[in-house]
Structure 1
Amino acid sequence: MIEGTIPTRTALVLRQTAAAVGVSPVQVAGVELGADQGDRFRVPIESAWRMWEMIGAAGGPGAGLCASGAAAPGALGVWDYLFSSGETLGESLRTVMELRAAVTDPAVDWQVIEEGRLLTVRVGVAQEADPVFVPVEEFVLALVLRRIREATRTGVIPARVAFTHRTSARYAAMTAEFGTTRIEFGATHSEISFRDGARLPTGGDPRLGELLCDYARLSLTTARPLPSWLDRFRTALAEALTAGDLGLGAVAARMTLSPRTLQRRLTEFETSWRAEVDRVRRQRAMTLLRETDLTVQAVAGRVGYSDARALRRAFVQWTGRNPNEFRADPARVLESAR
């Protein structure tokens, strides 16, 4: 599992919600989201918080309910189906909380608490004053209720719904969403409780539930951060260098952009075409000097310099040493250049 990230599926739901409440366009920390990314990639949690800030600012109280409405069954991948992974709701919810990283940051604290006849799902363990938590709490509790109703095929009504925030301007919308007037604001914990909920049957097949859990765990162990636009640009630049086609127009074409748009995007990432070309040449030259017996002249040609003298000048700028000194002791040269 990758702490400090959320799945792209969750980020897509948030982006869709942001657009629905009037935020456009939504830039997700330099990454480009696509529905085909499935469970393979994750984005930084900072992207989620930024989108929640925009959602809360544009949508106001109740914006979290808009987000839960945008998360149709299956939109959040395997996590949606874990609500029926056990024969009873209590069993299923324990699995849902255990594998919460399939839908959120694994560092987030979600709990299932059984006290007598009361079954409670608690999200977060301390009162938060930050306004960004207003739509987050609404979203999570409304989403959990929707999935519970889908799994149990009932219109189960919560015995209690509690929010740590004190914003109750959309109380009517809250009672309509949760089906109850037993809603508290300014509570110690954000949670939703059900009386006699643990024994509610889900109709789930235990064998299928095991397969779903195995898939969720495998997805979490193999997921990786989604490459940013800058990562993709640097890959295209390295490929262009290898192909001997290191020109602004050629690299822009590789990325299906105009040269002007490419330069503008680089500026957004606080870098430039010249700096990135220098970076990729430096990396390739160092690799060739460490791993091959090519002459300095040959290395210069491979990284786009006219001759060995040009490479030597560049190398002195990068490290304070010439290519032959680097080849003799790369570690010492790099250490002295820091």
Structure 2
Amino acid sequence: MRASATKLDLPTIPPSVLSGIVEIGVGEGRDVDRWFAGTGIAGPAALSSDSIKVSFRQAVSVVRRAVEDMSEAPLGMQVGGRDILLSMGMLGVAMRSAATVGEALSIGLELHQASGSLMDLELECATEAAALRLHERWPEPLILRFLCEEILCSTILFVRSVVGADWAPERVELTYPAPSYTRRYERFFRCPVVFGAEANRAVFPTATLALRFPTRSEPTRAIAVDACRRMLDVGAVEPDVVAIVETLLAQHLRYPLTMGAVAARLHITERTLRRRLTEAGESFSAVRDRVRRQRATALLRETALPIAAVAHQVGYSDIREFRRAYIRWTGQPPSAERR
């Protein structure tokens, strides 16, 4: 389907995560070239190019093969546990130059894909506790453990590198079963780890967001943030404006962007965006519905999430409104899609 191709097949992801996997695979004596067969990436040597970017589908194909090849290894922890400059690159520089943990996380939430991230992130805040919540960009149960380990380990190492090596979250919640190397989780996270939870997240005191960074540098932050944005081509309007709108909407499904917000991110007026979509034979509402429908259908088919949770994932707080929308999109209710 069109939206699947535009969202998942566009080469927009820096290959830093793949480079980390290859480095570990080579060290383990694995045939890493086999991981790239048929992906369209010209082998592991291609990852060293400064200009290369890969698509989500390409990255997932390589990760899946690596995870299958090293099924008992804590591969995600190994990749996420590397030096911050290796795992986060320029994004790490931008975040280290922020004033506080909260500001650093805001930068990370906006630009996390500059580090090659393959999940989407959300900050949940309450009076006493906050949480960094991880969301799959597309259901990939075979590599979920890897994806969560990589992001959580790199993020926690980042915080420790700035505020102190003793920092630890209050608890970590993970939806998947405990792996064979659970003790490694305990040693790294230094907090209770709950498996089989309803969400993937790291919970920490809300006061952590106010912790100040001794590495703060406003000029460095501005330069690094700009570099990350240019790396992701944020604000660049390509000929296929439909693909760009789909990508932006897909990245913010839980809290949907308005047409005005999308136009602002593209540095054009709402009127110009409407005109360009019309010229492409599309409307903003049609693109938004298509992105929501395809994400909802994938979640209904590939996961065991309750229908109410699926509704929330695609931006509906009212399950009845979601059911009506799904019937309008597909001619059948969500429950029928699941069956």
Could you tell me the TM-score, scaled by structure 1's length?
0.58
Q: CA, structure 1 residues 109+99, in 2 after alignment: closer, same or farther (shift >3 Å)?
A: same
Change (3 A) 1:35 1:74: farther
Give how far 1:61 is off: 5.6
Trace 1:245-256 onto structure 2 (pairs within 5 A): none
Q: 1:19 to 1:13 in 2, by over 3 A?
A: same
1:44 alignment counterpart: 55
Tell me how far apart the structure 2 counterparts of residues 77 and 213 of structure 1 sit (CA, whole Å): 12
Give 1:186's aligned residue.
196
Structure-2 residue corresponding to 1:11: 18
* Candidates 199, 202, 208, aligned match of 2:210: 199
2:163 match:
152
Which stretches in structure 2 are left out of the alignment for 5+ residues? 1-5, 237-339
Distance 1:10 1:139 in 2: 8
* Residues 10 and 129 (structure 1), Cα distance of their counterparts in 2 relative to 1, 3 Å cut: closer
Structure-1 separation of matches of 2:226 and 2:121: 20
> Which of 42, 66, 78 is residue 31 of structure 1 equivalent to?
42
Structure 1 residue 94, shift from structure 2 partner: 0.9
The alpha-carbon deviation at position 186 of structure 1 amounts to 1.2
User: Residues 31 and 127 (structure 1 numbering): CA distance in 2 closer, same or farther, change over 3 Å?
Assistant: closer
The percentage of counterpart residues that share the same residue type is 16
Q: Which residue is 1:79 aligned to?
A: 91
Q: Is the 8 A contact 1:118 1:197 kept in 2?
A: no
Does residue 226 of structure 2 align to residue 214 of structure 1? yes
Deviations 1:293-313 (A, max 9, x none): xxxxxxxxxxxxxxxxxxxxx
Note the C-alpha offset of 1:34. Answer: 4.7
2:151 aligns with 140
Question: CA-atom RMSD, angstroms?
Answer: 2.9
Greater radius of gyration (CA): 1
Instruction: Tell which deviates more after alignment, 91-100 or 40-49.
Output: 40-49
Alignment-mate amino acid for residue 67 of structure 2: G
Shift of 1:128: 6.0
1:123 has 2:134 as partner: yes
Partner of 2:100: 88
Is residue 2:98 matched to residue 1:67? no
**Aligned mates of 2:30, 2:58 — CA distance in 1:** 14
User: Relative to 1, partners in 2 of residues 1:156 and 1:19: Cα closer, same or farther, differing over 3 Å?
Assistant: same
1:104 correspondence with 2:116: yes
Distance 2:128 2:98 in 1: 19
Check whether the contact 2:84–2:92 (CA below 8 A) recurs between aligned residues: yes
Alpha-carbon deviation of 1:68?
1.7
Pairs aligned (count): 219
1:162-215: CA deviations, max 9, x gaps?
A: 1111133211110011122x1011112111122121011122112321221111
Report the alpha carbon displacement of residue 109 of structure 1 after superposing the two structures with TM: 2.1
Contact 1:68 1:139 in 2 (8 A): yes
Tell me how far apart the structure 2 counterparts of residues 153 and 102 of structure 1 sit (CA, whole Å): 25
TM-score with structure 2 setting the length: 0.58
Whether the 8 Å CA contact 1:61–1:135 is kept in 2: the answer is no
The letter for the 2-side match of 1:112 is: L
Q: Once the two structures are superposed, what CA deviation does each residue of 1:114-133 show, in whole Å capped at 9, x if it has no partner? A: 21232321111699682221
Q: Which residue of 2 aligns with 1:163?
A: 174
Match of 2:184 among 162, 173, 179: 173
